Every structure is written in C-alpha cells, then in structure tokens.
Structure 1
C-alpha cells in the first residue's frame, strides 16, 4: 500500500542495483537518528507542525502526477508559460505548485527559469523504468482520502471503515467500479515492480521447477523470475477479471510455452502441481481467520515436499519509523487485514498446517517467509 517518505532511500536504492542489506540498514539507522534528533531539538509544537506539512506535500505530488508535469518535461526543460500552455493550466498556479515541489528537490529550475526533471521527478513519468505516478494517483485520490478522514472511527471500533462507506468490501468494490479497481491495480503493480529486484537478489527462486503465483495480479514478479531462469515454469492465478488480458501480454513476452494463466478465487481452490506457491502482498490484506483460510486452500493443493513463500512486511520490534507501521493503518482503514510480526506469522502458519523454515529479509521493506507443510 502507501509508502512513507521515511523509506524513500531504501526504495530508490532498491530500484537499481541492490546494495548490501547491512549498508542499507546502517544508512536507515543514520537517517532515522538525524530525523529523531531534529524532532527532539526543536520545540514540540514546531516538530508537530512540520510533520503536518508532509500531508500537504503528498497532495502536491499527487497534483503533479495528475497534471502529467513529468511527462511534459521528458523531452527537456520548458519555461513556465510554455509548460502551463502545454498542460492547459493557469501559469500562476503552476508556478506556486512547482515552487513547493522544487524546494523538496522534486523537479528543478534552471538559471533561465525553465523547469526540468531531476532524479526524483523521473519517478513521476508514466513511462519510466521505475514509476510511482500511479501510486500517487491512487493514494492521493478523492476516494482514498475520503476513507482516511475516518481513521479515528476505525481506531474507535477496531474495524475497517471502507466497507461501511462503500457498501461492500474493498476488493468487491474495486471489481464493480473498474475506474477505482484499475487505478488500484496500476498502483499495486508499480509498488510490486519496485520491490522485485531486491526480492530476486535475496532469494533463489530458480531452484523451483514450477512456481504458482497466487493472487499474482499482472504477473510482474513471475515474468521476471522466468526471464532469468531458463528452465522454470509458472502459473499466474488471480480473479478472472484481473487475468483476462494476461495471455496476450505473455505472448508478447515470448513466454507462452512456460507461463500459463488461471482464473479463480484463492478462498476456493488454487492450481495443483507447484513446487512453490508465492503469496506476494496477499496475506496482509486479510484477517487472521481469512488468511488462515487462504493458506489452508493452498495447503490442500500442495504436495508434501512443496513450499509456500509469503512475501510481506514483517513488523520490526524497534520504535523507529517503518513502512509497515504506515501500511498497518491502511489495513485498518480499508481492509480486514493487518501487518504482522515474526511471531504472528509463525503462529498463523502453524494454525494453517505449516512450519516456518526461514525468513529472508530484502533491501525493500518486504521479507520472504518460507514455510513447508507440517508433517
């Protein structure tokens, strides 16, 4: 789900060549320490007001994404008046928006006054190798903001406010309202793509002959695995409406002989015959009871020597900022799920008929939990 500014360093570095995990952790501790020191040195009300301003910044980035500013600057710098005409916006309004963004090193302004892309702004291009444009469009949308205004209600009751506001659970709503569903799918694909390289660097997926990506969405992880592993085969499994157009995309990638698509619900059944079953960003969307039901469905399809790979955030025990602490509130507001600690995952797996064999941490916020059927 949403990605906090405190994890920007890890995500930017994880999107390229993956640095050693100890180095990333050391840089993270150093950054968090400096931020904590600043908050303790300034008066409390000043620190709190500064944190409040981050909400304004998020909406400013969303506006830049919605207006397509980065796409208009892809071919080179443009003067404010020229850029405003190309975007069809008010020049004064554009100048005021860009003034804030540039002050946070999002875009840059040349000495002649022209606006230009920089390394951070490149991530707002719709055609970038790594793009967060769709992430900001979804999490800055009126639909998503409207839900988060009810965070206090979710805390009071301990229950998601999304179903009450929308009249149905989120995934049902997304299926029925494809404008929201498509926007959500694109945002999740962007986040998934961003974490793929760190996961491939940390874990050897190539040792499995057949991989089943349960709830695999648009198949970004599995297609990348197969592209790097000549002998492996894969199955992407998700709701029929999600995977309807995937066969055509798979054909364009030349993977038709090795990658198949099946539609269905992981609450009912999943494909049999896999050596490894991947559940990436699935378990955290659901309550313990629902997550156990999903895992038991997977367990039924598995051979005794197969394994399940849960790719999710494992909540740390420290008190520093962490992506999982933000996303856990996203789960509270919009879904029935939650982020879980290592012990909570171990207990959930045990109740579902699995034994956790190892946990592999990655340079992204995610970890890979490997579990096998309990004998």
Structure 2
C-alpha cells in the first residue's frame, strides 16, 4: 500500500464520525449552550443536561472539526463555523444537520449492501416507509424538512424566472407545489397568468400563506391532489420540480404519462432537475455520484443524464423541446428546465 493510500483510506473509513459528532452537537443544542462564550465545559453540560466529562470530550472533538476553539483545559468558544450550529442564527445550518443524519437515514445507509444487491431503497421493517417518507411523517423533522425545501425552492425560483418565459402561458400548474414558493415566483413574473397548485392536503395551508404573501393568491387555485394517482387537467404548462429524481424509472414514466393524459394541444411540461454529466470526472463524482447513490438509498430514485431524461419523456409520449440551464449557487450543480410537448 503506497503512502497516499495509507493516508486516504483511514480518512474515508472514519468519514461517519464527523457526521455523528455534528448531529449530536445539533441534537443536544451545544452551540446554543455555549452562546457568545467562552463557556466552561461543566456549565455547557449543565445547560444541555449531559455528562460533564463526555460533553467536554465532545467539545474537543468539535474543536478538531473547526467548530469550537479550546481556550484552556475546560473553556471553549464557538468559531465562525460553529456559530452556524446555533438555532435561529443568520446562516444557521442546525436544521440541515438534523435532517442529514436522521435515525432512518442512518439505518438506510447501514443497509447499503442490501440496497445495492436488490436495487431497492431501504424501508423501515415496521412501517414499510422509505427514509424520506419517514422524515415527512415525523412531527419534529417534517417542518424542518419543508422549511429547508422552501429555502432551496425560493433560491431556485429566482433563477428559473430569469431564464424561462412564463408569460406565454395562460394557466400554469405546479404539481407537488408544496410551500407555493415556486408558483408564487412564476406568477409574479407572469402577471397575466393564472396558477394551479396541486399537492397533498398536509402542504396546502403553507402554500396558501405563501401565495397570499406574494400577492398572487387571487390568481391561483389550490387543490388537494395526489400526483401518484391523478393530475388535474387543463393547464397550459405543468411544472415538476425535483419530483422525477425521487422516482425509479417505471414510476417516473407513469407520472409523466399522467401529465401527458392531462395535457391538451399546445401544452408544455417543464421538468426541473439537476442533470448528470454523461461521464463523471473526479469533481463530478463527489457532486453527483454521492447524491445519486443517496437518492437510491433514500427514495429509490436517481440522478439522470440528459439522454436518460429524454428517454423517460419519449416513453411517456413526449417530445423534447429545449433545455434551459438555471445557474445554482457556487459549488452546487446547476439546475435544468427541461421543456417537452406531447409527441405528435
């Protein structure tokens, strides 16, 4: 074994440790307990209801990750990075940490060998739910999950309306519209259009509030609908935002087919997704390869290449029209707005 391998392999094998350390700190509220600090480890332990010696060791581990600074044997302060673990702070990533290392997701990745052997996502032995479905039903995690989705959607929507012209459509339907942020941005950019937001009942109250806040509620109908069963007919454009990636190929074609059946002449479908490069370079393997595998474990879905998306669309009776790139934040993969029409 060469020197580079000897150094890299232990780091890879210990990769689970930082994730668990971060999650424990977020779960226990360690950053909130330190506050503006510095703070003694014993006092932080008292505030968090933890064992003083174990908590001090956690603080030292956090220092090794750059989240705390050890000032002397017992005093610690948050670093600039560590302040992001405080709840409610500007740029806080505490909820992201809690969502990224859920008990179900941890179990799911522990079953990766079985997932690879079967090609099927992990499911809870008792409920039969995937890790994502479990998170969405968890009374604590579900609001955090939806809030994280809302932040990501708002950023994406701002870029989407800059590269796609929605003024050409009279009625725009957002399937799985969730918090309403995407459709609100689209209707704001297309003041002459009407909207239709369709999602499960649990998401509709938040969607109505977002549409009201954006001043477009009077132009938007909100309906309870399960896209796994039916798609409301009659819109000129249908938006599928990060929905196809959560589905295996058969389920994806079925969803697209329901959209095709609901569409009239001249209607368009916009599939909004990241697109996998045909060949992954070293940097792409981190950005896309790990995300793709997480989709398999988490939902049973997958990242896809442009050719694979076109294949799904053709199988469902669509013809590809165009693809617009929606730039993402630095370091993140760009999104794509894949536009299709019913095949003639």
Range of TM-score over shorter length? 0.7 to 0.9
User: Structure 2 vs 1, CA of residues 190 and 304 (structure 1 numbering), >3 Å: closer, same or farther?
Assistant: same
CA distance in 1, matches of 2:34, 2:264: 53
CA RMSD of aligned residues (A): 3.3
Select which of 148, 153, 162 maps to 1:190.
Answer: 148
Select which of 256, 262, 287 maps to 2:248.
Answer: 287
Structure 2: 5+ residue runs without aligned partners? none
State the match for 1:59 in structure 2. 20
User: Structure 2 vs 1, CA of residues 166 and 244 (structure 1 numbering), >3 Å: closer, same or farther?
Assistant: farther
State the match for 1:277 in structure 2. 238
Select which of 340, 344, 352 maps to 2:304.
Answer: 340
Alpha-carbon distance, 1:150 to partner: 0.9
State the match for 1:170 in structure 2. 130
Task: Please give the per-residue CA displacement for 1:180-208, whole angstroms capped at 9, x wherever unaligned.
Answer: 6x625633541552364255325435534
State the match for 2:65 in structure 1. 104
The within-5 A match list for 1:279-358 is 279-316=240-277, 317-320=279-282, 321-358=285-322
What is the TM-score with the length of structure 2 in the denominator? 0.81
User: Structure 2 vs 1, CA of residues 333 and 117 (structure 1 numbering), >3 Å: closer, same or farther?
Assistant: same
Contact 1:135 1:191 in 2 (8 A): no
Alpha-carbon distance, 1:124 to partner: 3.4
| Higher relative contact order, structure no. (Cα contacts within 8 Å, ≥ 6 residues apart) | 1
SS of residue in 1 equivalent to 2:295:
helix
Alpha-carbon distance, 1:275 to partner: 3.5
User: Structure 2 vs 1, CA of residues 252 and 157 (structure 1 numbering), >3 Å: closer, same or farther?
Assistant: same
Larger-Rg structure: 2
Alpha-carbon distance, 1:277 to partner: 1.8
> How many pairs were matched up?
331
Alpha-carbon distance, 1:73 to partner: 5.7
Task: Please give the per-residue CA displacement for 1:286-340, whole angstroms capped at 9, x wherever unaligned.
Answer: 1211111111111222233332222222122123223332232223324332221
SS of residue in 1 equivalent to 2:275:
strand
What is the TM-score with the length of structure 1 in the denominator? 0.75
SS of residue in 1 equivalent to 2:208:
helix
Alpha-carbon distance, 1:229 to partner: 5.8
The within-5 A match list for 1:233-272 is 233-248=194-209, 250-251=211-212, 254-272=215-233
Task: Please give the per-residue CA displacement for 1:247-276, whole angstroms capped at 9, x wherever unaligned.
Answer: 345445554323442111113322334333
